[in-house]
Amino acid sequence: MVQWNGLSKPLYTRGFVIRVLVKSILLFLLANLVFAVTTPLPLLGSLSLYNRLLPGRARLPYGENPAQSYNLSLMSLEAMFASHEIARPKAADEFRVLLLGDSATWGILLRPEETLSGVLNAGGYTTEDGRRLHFYNIAHPIMALSKDLLLLDYAMRCEPDMVIWLFTAESFPRQQQLYPPLVQHNAAALRPLIANYDLDIDASDGRLVNFSFWDNTLIGRRRDLADMLRLQLYGFAFAATGIDQYYPPTYTPRSNDLPADDTWYSFTPAHTLTSQDLSFDVLDAGITRAGNIPVLLVNEPIFIANGENSDIRYNAWYPRWAYDAYRALIAAPAQAGDWLLFDTWNAIAPEHFTDSPVHLDAQGTRAFAAILLPLILQNAR
């Protein structure tokens, strides 16, 4: 209440409050309208404290325990790459090598310096003409060649000089190609790749997320905006600790005793696995997208069990007949000279696998890096 000529009057009249409320609602609606029309999310995602105030991350954001890992999973390619060290300007004497792949290359249960990229960078290797080899880990968990192609397509703007594409059979089934959430939420980036490379992927599949006008408003994209902001805030704790992953005190080791099951996805030994069953076209598209730079394809090591039913299965993922057929299929284009393929499937001893048939411990990763290094140096020109 205020005094005016000896009379008490309310500070705010009902009319004033209504006018303020109406204007606020109109401004809020206008802000949502402008946001939906201009779709500034990619631009906002590219704005980052990383590589400026904060150090760039050594691997793409991924995590389901944000408060413990100072990391989180998000769907914005722009925000993911803006937080990564690859977003830094390329040095004149730098030879950039992309490491593309799944959770094994990303480095589940490994510290950043223990990952394949970390081990290779620690070597301080150079090319014959004196350029410094820098290995960038742009792998991302969840297996699908389509996810790898999506990341490779975006990373080509970062001027790589070589691509090392690591994979295993789990990335090849056609039903896997639209499984990763990162693929589903980046349909606008995937569809041109499907069209340009004539990929056997249904661009109208219901799993691909189509954002409506409402979805593109501030309200509709509030989760994406919140994730972008959280990634920036977690950067301070990451910079102080170097932690970008939750390391559980214990984990369930990969199985050595296996079920007596000889099926792989919908396939049985009665079915002769062919290249049409696997997404070779996506792999070919990635090689084409890389242009004139070399693409080294690596069939990554797998755990080989020796326990119960190991005569039927190599591990919990692969019946022997299916994995053997897969290896024969990927070898054919390499033998024909179409692919630069290195098959390292049995290169690492079983005791160096941790919680899955492809996740290596630190010692196994160092051994794997030593195997790959001569191949890398030979092709780094």
pLDDT tens for each residue of 193-223: 999 999 999 999 999 999 888 888 878 788 9
Q: How far apart are CA 104 and CA 299, in angstroms?
A: 12
Q: Strand 162-167 vs strand 295-299: parallel, antiparallel, or unpaired?
A: parallel
- CA quadruple 226, 231, 233, 239: dihedral, nearest 10: 180
Is the whole-model pTM more than 0.75?
yes
pLDDT of residue 23: 74
Helix, coil or strand: residue 326: helix
Indicate the average pLDDT of the chain.
93
Does residue 79 carry a pLDDT above 50?
yes
Phi-psi domain of 159 (left: phi exceeds 0; alpha: psi -120 through 50; beta: other):
left
Per-residue pLDDT band at 297 (split at 50, 70, 90): very high
Helices 280-289 + 145-155 axis angle, to 10: 10
Tell me the domains of the chain and their CATH numbers: 16-248+256-379 (3.40.50.1110)
pLDDT of residue 2: 45
| pLDDT tens string 236-263 | 999 999 999 999 999 999 999 999 999 9
- DSSP secondary structure letters along 355-373: SSSS-B-HHHHHHHHHHHH
Residue type, 81: F
Helix, coil or strand: residue 251: coil
Would you state the structure tokens that stand for residue 368, as one six-digit string? 């794997």
Would you state the structure tokens that stand for residue 31, as one six-digit string? 């802000």
Would you state the structure tokens that stand for residue 376, as one six-digit string? 């890398």
pLDDT of residue 5: 53
Lowest-pLDDT range of 28-42, 325-339, 341-355: 28-42
Neighbouring residues of 64: CB distance < 8 A, sequence distance ≥ 6? 72, 73, 246
pLDDT of residue 340: 95
With contact defined as beta carbons under 8 Å apart, do 146 and 183 qualify?
Answer: yes
pLDDT of residue 31: 63
